């Protein structure tokens, strides 16, 4: 399925509004569902390894609130921004999340993502980010996308670099501490 056949008022082949934003070879990026909260908490929000560079663990009640907020924000946002669940097509298992949104203080559209620790090292983050870039550039018509990464998070830096991002600056975030900012511009027509 191409991202143009996705959510935000778009319909699937049956005429129903689709919860799928886009698919890649191995992944389906879709709206969160309320029943994702328990698995999301165990694999992401309560796992200190996954959160090492991006925040503090949350309990199940906090995660349920986060998932509800992500659902509301994504469904209400008519700019095409949101936070989506990533599931493996082969098993239907929730294996990550990815977001795209406006960063007010930096005046940029940024993506963020995480993959469950059990799925690290399989190229899933790179596949999801590349899919998000196709959605951002082809469907939304964005001219650039940015990402903020802790400078010690070598795995995420490699994901961004494989997807074509380049480091543009280093800064400190009051919430996350040191951050390196990466960006990628939409490829020009006819570029190799």
Look at residue 175 and tell me if it is in a domain.
yes
Q: State the maximum Cα–Cα separation within the chain, in Å, rounded to a whole number.
A: 49
Look at residue 67 and tell me if it is in a domain.
yes
Q: Please give the residue range of the domain that contains residue 56.
A: 3-185
Identify any residues that bridge with 146 across adjacent strands, giving them in sequence order: 110, 183
Query: pLDDT per position in the chain (192 positions), as tens?
Result: 334 334 444 444 544 457 999 999 999 999 999 999 988 888 777 777 777 767 777 788 888 888 999 999 998 888 899 999 999 999 999 999 999 999 877 789 999 999 988 899 999 999 999 999 999 999 999 999 999 999 999 999 999 999 999 999 988 776 667 889 999 999 876 554
Look at residue 168 and tell me if it is in a domain.
yes
Predicted local confidence at residue 13, as pLDDT: 52
**Number of domains into which the chain is organized:** 1
Buried b (16+ CB within 10 A) or exposed e, 120-159: eeeebbbbbbbbbbebbbebbebeebbbbbbeebeebbeb
- CATH code, 128: 3.40.630.30
Query: How far is it, in rounded angstroms, from Cα 94 to Cα 115?
Result: 9
Look at residue 190 and tell me if it is in a domain.
no
Among 86, 91, 70, smallest CA distance to 131 is for 86
Look at residue 191 and tell me if it is in a domain.
no
């Amino acid at each position: 399925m191409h991202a143009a056949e996705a959510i935000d008022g778009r319909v699937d082949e049956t005429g129903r509004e689709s919860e799928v934003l886009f698919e890649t070879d191995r992944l389906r990026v879709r709206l969160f569902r309320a029943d994702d909260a328990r698995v999301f908490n165990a694999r992401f929000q309560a796992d200190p390894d996954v959160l090492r560079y991006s925040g503090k663990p949350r309990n199940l009640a906090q995660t349920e609130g986060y998932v509800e907020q992500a659902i509301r924000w994504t469904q209400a946002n008519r700019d095409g921004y949101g936070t989506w669940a990533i599931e493996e097509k082969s098993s239907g298992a929730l294996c990550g999340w990815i977001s795209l949104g406006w960063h007010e203080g930096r005046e940029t559209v940024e993506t963020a993502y995480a993959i469950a620790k059990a799925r690290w090292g399989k190229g899933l983050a790179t596949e999801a980010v590349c899919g998000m870039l196709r959605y951002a550039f082809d469907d939304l018509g964005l001219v650039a996308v940015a990402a903020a990464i802790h400078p010690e998070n070598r795995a995420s830096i490699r994901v961004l670099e494989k997807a074509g991002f380049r480091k543009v600056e280093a800064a400190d975030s009051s919430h996350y501490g040191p951050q390196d900012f990466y960006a990628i511009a939409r490829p020009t027509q006819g570029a190799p």
